[in-house]
Amino acid sequence: MRKGLAYLDLADKCRKLARQIKDRRQRKQLDDIARAWEIVASDRAKELTKAGKTRRKAK
């Protein structure tokens, strides 16, 4: 889960940087990167959930 939280932290940092940027195109790029980190975090959470279910079935 630590990786997932780290990914969300990176997304948050991108959004904070975006708020400081005046150029609209650069803000959008940072926002897109933030969304990508959120997707990675979501995928990681799904991966962990799936692995947990697999382990429970094996017992």
pLDDT of residue 50: 85
Given this model, what pLDDT does residue 53 score?
A: 74
Question: Which pLDDT tens digits describe the chain residue by residue (59 residues)?
Answer: 689 999 999 999 999 999 999 999 999 999 999 999 999 999 999 988 888 776 666 65
pLDDT score of 58: 60
Say what angle helices 24-58 and 2-20 make with each other, to 10 degrees: 170
Does residue 8 contact residue 37 with C-beta atoms inside 8 Å? yes
Which pTM was predicted? Answer: 0.82
